[in-house]
Structure 1
Amino acid sequence: MKCSPDLRRLTQAGALLCTLWLAACGSGPTVPGQLSSATPPRAGVAAAPPRPSNAANARDYRRDAARHIYDINAKRIYEGKLPALLYAIGTLEVNVDATGKVVSMRWMRAPKHAPEVIAEIERTVLAASPFPVATKLGKVTYTDTWLWDKGGSFQLDTLSEGQL
């Protein structure tokens, strides 16, 4: 059965809202096809709140957010230069409120050929909440590009070591 583009967008928006709602309730969504190499960040560990960000603009905040994601997912970060061909590349816009909580996400370029990567990136971002509080900005919207390896490791463009 074919869906109209408007119905498809509405369905995708509904799915994202459900994911965010479930995350706010404290129980993460079950993601079919979730990458097996992924270890849930902070599983059962009460972590200290992230250091505040003194970023003066969204571009500077992006670096603090990327560092925060790297700190939580240290074992999943691809070490060194990425291979010439990556499994997936996606650009995600993240809206963070004045307390560091993720309030919404929007794909600017989704790796549609790899829906399991889309779900895993969204889960990783939600699990990283709260993000550093942007003391000079209050709420902030930042964008970063996820560079994903076949094995489930990643780098963020902001902190990338480049490609071979």
Structure 2
Amino acid sequence: MKTRLTICLLALALAGCGGKAVLDRSEVETTGDGTSTADTVGEYKLALAQRIAQVNSTKVYIGRPQALLRSVVVVKYVVDAKGSLLRSEIMRSNRDRSTEATALASLRSTAPFPKPAASLLRHGRIELMETWLFNNDGRFQLRTIAEPQMDE
């Protein structure tokens, strides 16, 4: 698991040389019917973070986030057994409407997600939280796959 995360972060760093994030699609592994191979909620959350970054690569910041972030937006979202986004809501924010809209839009544009494994579902769905870290330029990283912030 740590090796996959290291490889993902290295891919993000190297992709920065070209100006936009490009992740290897093989990082988000699924079975033939589109079910995620993730065995734990943490692995599934990592796979979804990678997918959100892939789909929204032009909005993703490459490199270490700045020391004082423009905005931190925490979103709770629910995915059903088919991988559909059932709902999402802002749980924490500094009320920067632009970054809130970007976080929610990036989530919606990524759906449908890989189907979660049946073992991860509770009442036919899985509830997750993710944190969007925004730099001053409006681009973001997801905390699940973000590099450490710069020192002040």
Same fold (TM over 0.5): yes
Corresponding residue number in structure 1 for 2:9: none
Bigger Rg, structure 1 or 2: 1
Structure 1's consecutive aligned runs of 4 or more residues displaced over 6 angstroms after TM superposition are: none
* 2:151 is aligned with 1:160: no
1-side partners of 2:40 and 2:117: how far apart?
11
* 2:132 is aligned with 1:146: yes
**Aligned AA (2:115):** V
**RMSD (CA atoms):** 1.6
- The percent of aligned pairs where both chains have the same amino acid is 28
Q: How many aligned residue pairs are there?
A: 114
Corresponding residue number in structure 1 for 2:36: 53
CA contact (8 A) 2:55 2:109 kept: no
Corresponding residue number in structure 2 for 1:91: 74
* Larger helix percent: 2
DSSP 3-state at the match of 1:140 = strand
TM-score, normalization: structure 1? Answer: 0.64
**1:142: Cα distance to partner?**
1.1
2-side partners of 1:88 and 1:61: how far apart?
25
Of 85, 106, 119, the match for 1:102: 85
Q: Please give the per-residue CA displacement for 1:37-79, whole angstroms capped at 9, x wherever unaligned.
A: xxxxxxxxxxxxx843222332221101101101111222111
DSSP 3-state at the match of 1:107 = strand
Q: Unaligned regions of 5+ residues in structure 2, if any?
A: 1-28
**1:91: Cα distance to partner?**
1.0
Q: Unaligned regions of 5+ residues in structure 1, if any?
A: 1-49
